[in-house]
Amino acid sequence: MDATSYAFFRKKLKHYMKRVTNNQEPLMITRKNKHNVVLISVEEYSNLLENQFILSHLESRAWLQATAEQKEAAAVVSQEMVTEPAEVEPS
């Protein structure tokens, strides 16, 4: 994670906002009082909230764990999707 001072962040606000959203990388903004903050994109924030929601529910967490274990055990089978041919209307 990159970091910058509060003073420099203020001078280059547009640059840093664009960088955070384009690269999907958080930016730490350091302050003299050591109460640092982190700037993240809306997409990253939404992802964090979704992960927190999933992991906070036992059923979701159990399903996720079982899926990971199946993958580790190579119990997941990949299959090719079969599509039906389009029906031709009689003329």
Task: Name all domains of the chain by residue range, CATH numbers in brackets.
Answer: 1-61 (3.40.1620.10)
Alpha helices in the chain (DSSP H): 6-11, 13-23, 42-56, 58-72
Question: Taking the CB of residue 11, how many other CB atoms lie within 10 A of it?
Answer: 11
The answer to whether the pTM exceeds 0.85 is: no
Amino acid at residue number 12? K
What confidence tens digit (pLDDT) does each residue in 19-55 have? 999 998 999 999 998 899 999 999 999 999 988 888 8
Which residues, 6 or more positions from 2, have their beta carbon under 8 angstroms from its beta carbon? 25, 27, 28
Q: For residues 79 and 41, which has the higher predicted lDDT (pLDDT)?
A: 41
Q: What is the pLDDT of residue 71?
A: 79
